[in-house]
Structures are given as C-alpha cells and as structure tokens.
Chains A and B, each alone.
Chain A
Amino acid sequence: MVRKKSRKQVSERPASAGADEVRVGGGGEDTGEAVGADDGVKGLLALYEDPETILHAARKAREAGFTRWDVFTPFPVHGMDEAMGLGRSRIPWVTLVAGLCGTATALFIQFGTMVYSWPANYGGKPVGGWPAFVPITFEMTVLLAGVTTALAALWLGGVLRWKKPKLDPDLTCHRFGIYVDATDPKYDVGKAREWLESTGAIEVRPVKEGA
C-alpha cells in the first residue's frame, strides 16, 4: 500500500538504479502474461510464512530498487525499518513540540488567571508562587504530548484512512506480506512475480482493482 504522499515524492525523485534483477517492462515484452496493469491489477502481493524470510525479502526488494511497495506483518518485525530503508520515525519530535505546547498552555492559564487576571490572596501565600503551578504544568505537558503523539503516529502511518485495498485477512493473523504496486517504476508483471517467488514467498497473487 503506497500513500499518496510517497507517490508524489517518487515522481519527483526517480528511483535510483538498483540491481538489475527486476527491470521496467518497457516495450511490453511480457505481454504474454495472464495479468497486466490493463486488467485492473493494482499490484502483486507475496505471502510469507515467517518474519525471518520476509525480513530478507524486504531487504532484497529495497536493494532491487522498488519504491512503491510495503510490508504487512501481524506484529512489528525487528529490523524491518532498516530492511525497507525507512529510517527513524520522527514521532519523538512531535512529542517534544506538543509537550512544550502543553507546558506553555499550562503556564499561560495559571499565571494568566492567578497573577494577571485576578490576583487573590490565598492563605497569605505569594501571588504567582511558581512551585504550586508545577503539578498542573506537568499534567498538561503529558496530556498534550500523549494525545498528539498518538494522533500523529496514526496519521503519519496512514491508519486514519479507512479506504484501502483488502489484501489478505491473514496478514493480521499469521501471514507476512510484501505488496508491490503496479505503478512502481521497477514493476514488471512477469519478472516481479518470478522475483518475489525467488525470495521465499509461499504464494504470489495479483491484487485487482476494487479488491
């Protein structure tokens, strides 16, 4: 499953020429294949049985130069981000910024109401004594940081979009899958299928439009 954003990125920055096992099917030399982009096939799904195999397959897929592809696993597989060449998630920065916003909001509310808007004498304590504001400042920091982090992670991961092609129900149970989109510049029906099978897939199947 490829997100719109990455699609745009890809069109701006063409895939670097990788290994040559999979070539762009320019000229239509593989039209003999039963399935092709014209038959409403959106891409190929390769299913694997265990995390080890798919980890190697993903590494090979990246080395082969695929750009519009994704890996589906029932649980996070260690080392998959590196294998896919995804790099580190930027979520911690979101947490930091949202947390600082929470801190600022809490300080603004507390100093604003108790020092500027209506200073009051509570038990002879100094107006604007900051130690009393620490607990709420902390809580607001955590609140904003936590909620924003979760929403950002879901949004960045594309989880907040419901409409997606249904690949295989077993992918959230016991199967591991690699999906290569038909729009991938390296995609070539016959060769991609052959290539995916060579990475240890137990099954490779086309994903049709409207699936």
Chain B
Amino acid sequence: MAYPDDSALRGLPREAPGEGVLGGPLFEREPLVTGGKNYAQVTQDVVRWSERYPTRKWWMAMGIAGAVFTLYLIGMFGTTVYGTGLLGINHPVGWGSYIINFVFWIGIGHAGTLISAILFLFRQKWRTGINRTAEAMTIFAVMVAGTFPLLHTGRPWFAYWLTPLPNGRGPIWPNFNSPLAWDVFAVSTYLTISLVFWYLGLLPDLASVRDRARHPWRKALYNALALGWNGSNRAWRHYESAYLMLAGLSTPLVFSVHTIVSFDFATAGLPGWHATIFPPYFVIGAIFSGFAMVVTLMVIMRKVYGLESYITLNHLEAMNKIIMFTGMVVGFAYSTEFFMAWYGGNAYEGFIFKNRAFGPYWWAYWIMFSCNAFIPQLFWFKKFRRSIPVMFFVVICVNIGMYFERYVIVVTTLHRDFLPGSWGMYSFSPFDWMVLIGSFGMFFTFFLLFTRVFPVVAISEVKGILPASQGRVPAAKAEVSHG
C-alpha cells in the first residue's frame, strides 16, 4: 500500500483481509511519514529551507512580525522609562495585562514540553514530526513570558534582588515562602531545561546540516553549533540515555511550572483565586492552549515549507483529539469552580462567581467559556478533526478563549473584592494593547528566524521511524536515490 500524501490517509489502521499470520485480516497502522521517503530525502526536505535564500512569503511574514515586535519594544521601553503608570492598572486592579500575558505565554509553552517529553515517555512515535517546532515554540513563548513579570515589577533593573546574592544590607534575602520567588526559579529552570533538551535534540540534525554545507560561513556556523557530533554510536549511547533522563526530568517540571504559576494566585486569600483546584486547572489549561498554538503553527508551516509528508493529517488529528480532551477538562474545571462556590457556602466566593458570569465582565467570561468548552466539541466528528479550515477556526478560538481565561481570573477577582467601597473597573491603556499585540510580534520574529536557521523537523528522529528503519520494508527498496 502506497501513501503518496494526506489523501491516502484515513486515520485508521488499514485492513488487509487474509494477510494475517493465521489467514485472518491483518491490521496495519498507517505510516507516520507519507510519500515513501528515504533517508536522504528526509534530510533534503527539511534542510533545504535553510540552504536557500528566504522566499518572498518569508520576508513578508518577517516584515509584519518585525513591525509588530517594534510595538512591543516601544511599549516595554515606555513602561521601563516612565513606569507602569502608563498601563491600565490602578486601584483596585493592580495586576493587569502583564500578568495575563505572562500566564498566557507560559501556558503556550507547555505543549512543547508535553510533546517532547511526555509523549516520548509514552512512546508516541508521531511526536517526531512535530517535536522540534513545538519545543522551539516553548522556548520562544517562555522567553516572551519571562519579560512580563520582570517589567511588571516596575523596576526591572532590580530584578537581581530576586536571587539570593550575598549582600551587605543585613544581609537581606528573598522571601522563599513567597510564590513569586518560586516563580523565578520555576520559570528560569523551565527555560534552561527546555533549551538544553531542544539543543540536545538538535545536535545530530545540526551535524547533518554541517556536513552538507558548502559556503564557508555556513560551515563555520554549523560546525560551531553541531559541536563535535559525528554520529558515533559511542556518542549515541550516552545521548539516548541523557535524552530519556531529560524527558523524565521535564515531565514533572512541566507540571510544576504552571502549578507554581497558579500558586501566585491560589496562595492569595482572595475569593476566586484561593482554590485548591488551581494547580491542575492551570496545568491542563496550559496544555490545552499550547496544543492550540502548536496546531496553529503547524497548519501554516506544513503548507508553507512543504512538510505535509512529515506533519500529516494524522498528526493534526492526534493533536485535535488532545485539544478536545483537554478542552473538556477545562470546561469541567470551570463548572467545578462554580459548584464549589455554591457548595462551599462562602458568600464572597459565591458573589465572585456570580459576578464573573453575569457581572460587568460577563462578555469575557462567556468568550472564555464558549471558546474553550463548547467550540472544541466540534472535534467529536472525525470529518472536522481532519479538516484544515475547521481545525484552524477551532484553534484560533482556543487561543482567544485561553487568553480570556487568564483575563477573567486576574481581573474579575480583583475588581470587586470584599468591600463594595473598593470596587472598580479595569480597562487596557494603549500601552497594554501595544505589548499584548507586540508580544506576538516578538514570538513570531523568533519563530521565523528559527525556521530559517534550524531544521524544523527532527531529522534523525524521523529517520528512526521510517518503515525502512523498522525492518518492515526490505532496505534496498526504501534506500537512497542519489540526487
């Protein structure tokens, strides 16, 4: 059975009557890579984009992303030089768009680690097509996220006070009882480990690029980046072991990061935040939003870079299933919060939730609820799970919905707390809009540069899951055409 492209895939095992061992039907899984690719073609298909001049489309995308990035830089410059008074935050809503953006972006990152680490531990081989890009997405998202709490402090030049540096002022140390101090460690560890994991995965592929390089600058660049990787099995042996160890370390790490982010809220004594459901609710929401972002990027990237053979409809369908599942968990968490607000019998808690859904921010709440809990239900239908326009619509809705989830959590709890005398409203200032929109520019600028410089698909991992490597197809048939 040949699988030239997506049209041959059905997302189900192929039934071959009479081909089984005992004469019954044989069910064979569809290949993870279509088009009958051989090893050399895999390298060629992935690496060629970094070996040619950028296309016009790339320049256009880069131009837009760069322009939007400038907005972010102006916004950040303003809040650094003139202070956070430029933003919409004021009494009583003292946590505004910077915290919302922080939680949003760091949540996006979680899908990358889930794909690279957890799916690796579960031996989900389809991860090989998407893990490189998803990990890159994680790193850029965490980089974007990390700038927000820094700027939110108002005096980012004192950020080093968050680290326990020996000092002559007492000495005065950071308060390690505080979730904000935990956050510093969680986010910086997350960024470091994600980078290490990503780079480790990149090494063999960078060596492939290096060995194909002709131009002296390219040779020098990739020679430096690929270290001394030469594919020796004595290196692979330790490499594979380290990869497994890192996957094992990243798995609890990814849960811990958003758990600690949720502690920023949950350890406060405010109704709507002070809830034990927060850690799992944040983690699952992060995975949900992250997968939505992965699908958003993949749908575009596979088309633009001609990677449909590696990121097939089956890959997208698998991710859509995860989106639907996590979406239902998120919806369940929203409902549980409501139930507990009623069942707990606490008047303030009860008020906050009524206010969330039917107060002045009802629109944010219902955008959140419908985008996250209702719209992904479309994925119950296989036809929709495998339709590019439908899935693109759904994942964009999820991206929006998950932004509003953080908006709802941050704003609705703060704007009306215990005393009606201290109630107030919150709205974005132009600077809030600039950094929000600009943060996407920053993310996409990095992402577009990544697609130019690095192999966007894990070449060595994809080679390992080709039928030829699995001993299913006689090797000679699947082997290289010199070209």
Contact = CB atoms under 8 A, between A and B. Distances in A.
Interface of A: 1, 3, 49-53, 58, 70-77, 80-81, 84, 86, 88-89, 91-92, 95, 99, 109-110, 113-114, 117-118, 120, 122-123, 125, 129, 132-133, 135-136, 138-140, 142-143, 145-147, 149-150, 152-154, 156-164, 167, 169-174
Interface string B209-234: 01110000000000100011111111
A70 B176 contact: no
Contacts of A140: 185, 189
B39 A142 contact: no
Nearest to A3: B234
A120 B246 contact: no
Contacts of A149: 242, 245-246, 249
Contacts of B204: 74-75, 172
A119 to B, nearest CB: 10
Interface in B242-256: 242, 245-246, 249-250, 252-253, 256
Interface in B17-76: 38-40, 43
A174 B45 CA distance: 13
Secondary structure call for the B interface: helix
B364 interface: no
A80 B238 contact: no
A88 B186 CA distance: 32
Interface string B183-217: 00110110011001101100110011011100000
Interface residues of B, number: 72
B329 interface: no
Nearest to A177: B231
B434 interface: no
Contacts of B38: 174
Contacts of A139: 182, 185-186, 189, 253, 256
B189 A157 contact: no
Given A150-B200, A153-B242, A158 B253 contact: no
B231 A74 contact: yes
A76 B197 CA distance: 17
A153 B197 CA distance: 12
Given A114-B176, A139-B185, 17 more contacts: A3-B234, A49-B479, A51-B469, A72-B233, A74-B463, A77-B233, A89-B238, A113-B164, A122-B175, A125-B177, A139-B189, A150-B200, A153-B200, A172-B210, A173-B43, A173-B208, A174-B38
Contact of B260 (A75, A84, A110, A135): A135
B436 interface: no
A75 B238 CA distance: 13
Nearest to A120: B175
